[in-house]
Chains A and B, each alone.
Chain A
Amino acid sequence: MNHQRRTVLKGVGSAAAVGVAVAAGLLKPTAAFASDRAAFDAKGVDAVMKAIKATGAADSKDIVVKAPDIAENGAVVPVEVTSNIAGTNSIAIIAEKNATPMVGEFELSNGATGYISTRIKLANTSNVRAVVKAGGKVFTAAKEVKVTIGGCGG
């Protein structure tokens, strides 16, 4: 394992995240999230968690990540996330081993329940991680999906 490389990548990711967060904050102080694309440039799960302000997320059994155990085609992997945590206001999906791990963040409001269903690409066998924000706290859960044919080109 090349630790130095990992550290450098982490540093780059967080520096970019701070830059964009500041820029977004200056433009729209109340809706920094809406224009924050930093998470999509972040490499590695830790950098993504930092970019979406979800560091230190607690594991939760109240989040159900539904995805196939084995996906034959990594280009289309159905994923369903259900959060039974009261006050869930955002669900993010992260494909841990993708070159761009951030899949998307879905902000829920005005009665939208803690449920998101979508289809994602997985490059390799990987954990699919859901990050739920509820009442100012962050929770997470993951499910491993085995991929036989990757879905990120190549």
Chain B
Amino acid sequence: MAEPMKIRATLAGDVADIKVLMNHVMETGTRKDAKTGQLVPAHHINSIVATLGGKTVLQAEIGGAVSKNPFLGFKVKGAKAGDKVTVSWVDNKGDKNSAEATVG
């Protein structure tokens, strides 16, 4: 199952600087296993949704070209200290994970 992810949200003025580190292998499906020579099946995050204070601020569709253990940084204007940030993802095998943090 999915491993935990890390979210850090810091406030500068009224802009929340949100950084997310997800745990995922992000296999492209084009890489070969060094021992068996077989293609390693694709296994990567497909969709990411982030909310701040209950409103969707980011909706992403990504593919296997994002590095292993994806990092994502974004900024949201109009945030206040104490606002809740949630980030959730779904991968191509239907695995999902979500985490939340507080802006501060």
Q: How far is the CB of A91 from chain B (nearest CB, A)?
A: 9
Of all chain B residues, the one with the shortest Cβ separation from A119 is B67
The size bracket of the interface on B is: 20 to 34
A26 beta carbon closer than 8 Å to chain B: no
Of all chain A residues, the one with the shortest Cβ separation from B57 is A112
A10 beta carbon closer than 8 Å to chain B: no
Q: Return the CB mask of B72-87 against A: 1 if under 8 Å, else 0.
A: 1111111100000000
Q: Return the CB mask of B55-99 against A: 1 if under 8 Å, else 0.
A: 111111111111110111111111100000000000000000000
Q: How far is the CB of B9 from chain A (nearest CB, A)?
A: 13
Given A100-B65, A120-B66, A121-B28, are A113 and B76 also a contact pair (CB < 8 Å)? yes
B32 beta carbon closer than 8 Å to chain A: yes
Q: Are A103 and B32 in contact (CB under 8 A)?
A: no
Q: Return the CB mask of A84-124 against B: 1 if under 8 Å, else 0.
A: 00000000000100111111111111111101111111000
Q: Are B75 and A152 in contact (CB under 8 A)?
A: no
A34 beta carbon closer than 8 Å to chain B: yes
Q: How far is the CB of A11 from chain B (nearest CB, A)?
A: 22
| Chain A residues, Cβ within 8 Å of B67 | 75-77, 118-121, 151
16 sample A-B contacts, Cβ–Cβ < 8 Å, listed by A number: A37-B61, A39-B61, A100-B30, A103-B62, A103-B63, A109-B56, A110-B57, A112-B74, A112-B75, A116-B74, A119-B67, A121-B66, A151-B67, A152-B28, A152-B30, A153-B30
Of all chain B residues, the one with the shortest Cβ separation from A36 is B61
| Chain A residues, Cβ within 8 Å of B73 | 80, 115-118
